[in-house]
Amino acid sequence: MLARVRSGALLGIDAVVVECEVDMALGLPYFNVVGLPEGAVRESKVRVVSALKNTGFELPQKRITVNLAPADLRKDGVAFELPIALGVLAAAKLLEDAPLSRYLFGGELSLDGTLKPIKGVLPLAVAARDGGFEGVMVPSANAAEASLVEGLHVHPVASLRDAVDHLTGTRPIPPFSRSLGPAGERARDDAAPDMADVRGQPELKLALELAAAGGHNVLMCGPPGSGKTMLARRLPGILPEMTFAEALEVTKVYSVLGLLGEGHALVRERPFRAPHHTLSDAGLVGGGPTARPGELSLAHHGVLFLDELPEFRRNVLEVLRQPLEEGVIHLARATQNITYPCQVMLVAAMNPCPCGYFNVPGHTCRCPEHRVFDYHARVSGPLLDRVDITLQTRPVEYHHLARPEAREPSSRYYRERVEAARCRQRERFRDMVGVHCNAQLPSHLLRRHCVLSPRAERMLELAVRHHGLSARAHDRLLKLALTRADLEGHGRIEDVDMQLAIDCRVLDRRGWLNANTEGTPPSRGVTPPWRTASSSAGDPREGR
């Protein structure tokens, strides 16, 4: 006899409906699984047979063939064990076909018939809704995750016996009722690092506030101990909370990798990923035998922090170009093409030289001049062109460290200002799909939304000509000035907004490497837009 049960196979962060066809025919007892199964799927037949016997079902001594269609799609994971077991029972005429056609099934079987949680339940639930199914049957531990999809009945199953009793009507399982709260979602951590812990550095805090308000990329260059890493780790605390749609996208990525954690169904806290500089290019953008998501996708709608940027391998840094520009990663493999989301804020930190003290007052640099330029040449010009804010940091002054109590603004203060700016941006882009902040604004719509005062227009023209900015840098300068206007509530981009945006692009200036670091960070007032001293050394990026 032939039976059909539907399940789902992961393709990137989405699920494709898979039909488990089970045929039971006369012949020597044999259990075979076909349809491009991977190792865990091939081994599932052993667990399925043991689970059926230990649950009390006697299988007839026949030849059993399981086909997972479509046959040209690679099947990986343990989620097919529950649908295979139910298909075997239906082929043996122990279950009716009608109830099986209403659901998508997924679950890993223990040898005693109990169900263990699986990865990728949220994509499975989305596939069930899009495929017109009534609901899903998943392990009890995954029910809260599946219930995030509206308009779908989620039946939590603790064992194979419970699934059979529900399908036969002996003991129906009521649909799971979602009640997200402290036990159901990973919310913002109130004990997270606070901006008030950082002494001094008001200019850097202003720059990070600007970056958070518009979703801009940041690069900080300065000596060790000047607060680069400390500030970067506090950036998620001033970012606005994710919308439900954004949280669902992030949850899908973490669900596919099994990183949600026990008892958590929805990721509400913006991700913060800080990989080590030994990271490979596949670890950054994704890849490997199963084309898993990488650190870029794990930081989706959050922050990707690359500390000691020049220490990363050159090929790793260069793969950042297209994802930073488009917000997605396209992985092409011999058998499949996968797209992962990666709308991230890139925050990077680096020292001014290998020893860390080049041009730092009070310190002597021991690096030869050519090593300093080679160190900076590891970060290519095209990558720097995709960074909106580039700053030189300076050592923290003693009087800031000696204060008995911190008097610095808290993360709550910055977050309130950032959320107000993001509200203005959401209103501005309410009719645009996929645009949530200024950094995501397409170039062809810049002049429609960026209204400049005459003085701001003149300053932008001088900056482009003086620094030789590319068209991309020009666009990013406009977006940065628009974010500053949103923070201050200006109806248009004023000269103070444009000056601050220009001040936040230190690496565009000739001679920035030999400038005194004490004068370079931005301020709220009107200051000359190019105040670093020129040097005969020129731009360290020249001659690459």
Residue 357 is part of a domain; what is its CATH number? 3.40.50.300
DSSP codes, 443-464: GGGHHHH--B-HHHHHHHHHHH
pLDDT at 273: 96
C-alpha to C-alpha distance for 153 and 193, rounded to whole angstroms: 40
pLDDT at 522: 41
pTM as predicted = 0.86
Residue 343, pLDDT > 50, answer: yes
Residues 158 and 205 placed together within one structural domain of the fold: no
End-to-end C-alpha distance for the chain, whole angstroms: 70
Residues 276 and 317 placed together within one structural domain of the fold: yes
Residues 103 and 209 placed together within one structural domain of the fold: no
Residues 384 and 491 placed together within one structural domain of the fold: yes
Residue 470, pLDDT > 90, answer: no
Residue 23: which domain range?
Answer: 2-168
Residues 127 and 242 placed together within one structural domain of the fold: no
pLDDT at 252: 95
- Summary mean pLDDT of the chain: 87
Residue 487 CB coordination number (10 Å): 21
Q: Are strands 272-273 and 153-157 parallel, antiparallel or unpaired?
A: unpaired
Residue 203 counted as domain residue: yes
With tokens 């951590």, the residue in question is 189
pLDDT-derived band at 425 (thresholds 50, 70, 90) equals very high
Residues 15 and 93 placed together within one structural domain of the fold: yes
pLDDT digit string, tens, across residues 31-73: 999 999 988 999 999 999 999 999 999 888 899 999 999 998 9
Of 393-407, 456-470, 473-487, 515-529, least confident by mean pLDDT is 515-529
Residue 510, pLDDT > 80, answer: no
Residues 244 and 137 placed together within one structural domain of the fold: no
Residues 163 and 201 placed together within one structural domain of the fold: no
DSSP 114: B
Average pLDDT over residues 408-419: 92
Pick 88 or 433 by higher pLDDT. 88
Cα–Cα distances in Å, from 449 out to 479, 483, 526? 9, 11, 23
Residue 521, pLDDT > 80, answer: no
Greatest mean pLDDT among 165-169, 224-228, 534-538: 165-169
Residue 133 counted as domain residue: yes
Residue 541 counted as domain residue: no
Residue 418 counted as domain residue: yes
pLDDT-derived band at 523 (thresholds 50, 70, 90) equals very low
Residue 367 counted as domain residue: yes
pLDDT digit string, tens, across residues 295-331: 999 999 999 999 999 999 999 999 999 999 999 999 8
Pick 7 or 193 by higher pLDDT. 7
- Of all residues in the chain, the percent with pLDDT exceeding 70 is 90
The number of folded domains in the chain is 2
Of 230-239, 279-288, 483-492, 506-515, least confident by mean pLDDT is 506-515
Task: Report which residue type is found at 103.
Answer: Y
C-alpha to C-alpha distance for 255 and 318, rounded to whole angstroms: 28
Residue 405, pLDDT > 80, answer: no
Pick 514 or 84 by higher pLDDT. 84
Residues 298 and 338 placed together within one structural domain of the fold: yes
pLDDT at 166: 96
Residue 337 counted as domain residue: yes
Residues 6+ apart with CB under 8 A from 194: 234, 237, 410, 411
CATH number of residue 106's parent domain? 3.30.230.10
Residue 260, pLDDT > 50, answer: yes
DSSP lists the bridge partners of residue 64 as 24, 31
Residue 177 counted as domain residue: no
Residues 64/30, Cβ–Cβ less than 8 Å: yes
Residues 436 and 368 placed together within one structural domain of the fold: yes
pLDDT digit string, tens, across residues 366-395: 899 889 889 988 999 889 989 999 988 888
10 Å CB burial of residue 119 (0-12, 13-18, 19+) is buried
10 Å CB burial of residue 123 (0-12, 13-18, 19+) is buried
pLDDT at 363: 86
Long-range contacts of 241-245 (CB under 8 A, 24+ apart): 241/188, 241/268, 241/270, 242/267, 242/268, 242/270, 242/301
Residues 290 and 434 placed together within one structural domain of the fold: yes
Residue 85 counted as domain residue: yes
Residues 6+ apart with CB under 8 A from 468: none
C-alpha to C-alpha distance for 448 and 441, rounded to whole angstroms: 11
Residues 473 and 334 placed together within one structural domain of the fold: yes
pLDDT-derived band at 202 (thresholds 50, 70, 90) equals confident
